[in-house]
Amino acid sequence: MAAVTTFRTAVRLTGRPVLLWSLLGRLPNAMGPIGSLLLVSHNSGSVWRGSIVSGTLAVSQALAGPPVGRLADRRGQRVVGLVAAAVNALAILALVLASEQGLPLPWQLAPAALIGLSVPLIGPLSRSRWIQLAGGNRESGAAAISLDGIMDEISFTVGPALVGLLATLADPAAGMLLGAALVGVCGTLFALHPTAPTGSRDRRKRSAGGLRSAPFALLLAGMALLGVCFGSVQVGVTAITADLGRPGAAGLLYGLIGLTSSFAGVATAALPARYGLALRLRAGTLLLLVAALPLPWTTDLTGLALGVGFLGVAVAPQMITMFGLTERTVPAERLGEAMAALVSSITLAQSVGTVLAGRLADGYGPRAPFLLTCAAAALAALLALAGATETRFRRREHRPATRPATAAAR
């Protein structure tokens, strides 16, 4: 019941329509990497080409995140969101056309890079918007962050599943075309909604509130280590299922992380306020380590399913907590940029984790990638235990960058 009350508080803050646009509009973010991989691999007959295109999209997206977030903080989410949604939809269509026509690889890399550079960042900007709409109300802000964290988990579980289903039933291009439609329509509606912050153009005010602080660096490092866990687990699950002769089970098992993580996110929303965010971060990293330790010793699909399902329980609580701590750590007028930087951190680190885990799998066997998972989880736990204290993350008082939400706005 506590979780239901929490989510009702979040819905009252934001309004139902913008929550729907936020959820549907962030799906293409999760669909792009796997969708481009399937599309280009299918049309070219080369997994390597598909990997290069997909990697270009992912890296471009990670690099562009903070600058786009900074621009949205300064110019407002409406203008930046409208331009990004339009450019992103057109770039997706350009990649589909280039791939279907069999154009040379550079002509496919260019639109892939543009897709990454123009992602509307609906997830990070949603969190920034909800916190600013809360107007300093801790209960409302925490409720919105919890709900948004669950929406992220849903998008990163449903998005790849939709792409895979459409590739199986129709054509690999269908998933990308659906992504273009979702970002074009829902991204535009999200940007146009009256709750969109107008931005802060006061350069002096912004220069006084930089992001170069020890608490925020700790959060960036924590997100990066979580990304290494994601990448290594993905490779480990793929390698073990292939070794067991069940490669088709990899996607379902990896999706199990998103499922258990979503349930854990609901449970996190029901936690009493006396369990502070710093305490939750320390507990979450320890839970991640405990969940990771058995993975290198799994020998069958049942054990692997139990292991990755347990691991997922630690994911959403950590992410929700780190987003909540970011709101305490950075100035309100730079919140969108900070949220985007966290997402970029986890995205780049996941790519690094995937590469390193792949080398481990090739050199030391299918269970070796989970050793990297354990190492990243251990480092995250040590970092949180040493640095995540209530004193370090004491709430800073910021003037809201935008007005609180009103019934008229919704």
Confidence of residue 348 (pLDDT cuts 50, 70, 90): confident
Confidence of residue 393 (pLDDT cuts 50, 70, 90): low
187 secondary structure, DSSP code: H
pLDDT-wise least confident of 74-78, 110-114, 166-170, 178-182: 166-170
More confident residue, 29 or 132: 29
Residues 84-95 have pLDDT tens digits of 999 999 999 999
Model confidence at 81: pLDDT above 50: yes
More confident residue, 253 or 176: 176
Confidence of residue 343 (pLDDT cuts 50, 70, 90): confident
Model confidence at 295: pLDDT above 60: yes
Nearest Cα to Cα of residue 29 among 115, 94, 103, 109: 115
Please report the pLDDT score of residue 290 as a whole number.
94
Give the residue-averaged pLDDT of 210-229: 85
Please report the pLDDT score of residue 402 as a whole number.
44
Give the residue-averaged pLDDT of 39-45: 83
Tell me if 1-199 shares its fold with 212-396: yes
Taking the domains of the chain in order of start, what are their residue ranges?
1-199, 212-396
Query: Which stretch, 39-53, 224-238, 363-377, has highest mean pLDDT?
Result: 363-377
Give the residue-averaged pLDDT of 395-402: 47
Residues 296-340 have pLDDT tens digits of 998 888 999 999 889 988 888 888 888 878 877 777 777 777 888
97, two tokens: 């056309």
More confident residue, 144 or 410: 144
Task: Please state, in angstroms and as integers, the Cα–Cα distance from residue 91 to each residue in 62, 115, 150, 162, 387, following that order.
Answer: 17, 5, 28, 20, 42
247: left (phi over 0), alpha (psi -120 to 50) or beta: alpha
As to burial, measured by CB atoms within 10 angstroms (0-12 exposed, 13-18 middle, 19+ buried), residue 207 is: exposed
CATH code for the structural domain at 212-396: 1.20.1250.20
Model confidence at 99: pLDDT above 60: yes
Q: What string of DSSP letters covers 321-334?
A: HHHHHHHHHS-GGG
As to burial, measured by CB atoms within 10 angstroms (0-12 exposed, 13-18 middle, 19+ buried), residue 86 is: middle
Please report the pLDDT score of residue 403 as a whole number.
43
The mean predicted confidence, pLDDT, of the chain is 80
Model confidence at 395: pLDDT above 60: no
Predicted model pTM: 0.74
* Count of helices and strands (H, E) across the chain: 16, 0
Give the residue-averaged pLDDT of 263-286: 78
More confident residue, 201 or 255: 255
> b/e per residue, 267-288, with b = 16+ CB within 10 A?
ebbebeeeeebbbbbbbbbbbb
Give the CB-side neighbour count of residue 177, counting CA atoms within 13 A: 11
CB 215 within 8 A of CB 342: no
Confidence of residue 378 (pLDDT cuts 50, 70, 90): very high
Model confidence at 284: pLDDT above 60: yes
What angle do helix axes 105-117 and 16-44 make, rounded to 10 degrees? Answer: 170
Model confidence at 410: pLDDT above 60: no
Total Cβ atoms within 10 A of residue 201: 12
Residues 138-157 have pLDDT tens digits of 667 667 777 777 787 777 77
Please report the pLDDT score of residue 408 as a whole number.
33
CATH code for the structural domain at 1-199: 1.20.1250.20
Residues 169-210 have pLDDT tens digits of 788 888 899 999 999 999 999 888 887 777 665 554 544 455
180, two tokens: 């273009």
Please report the pLDDT score of residue 404 as a whole number.
43
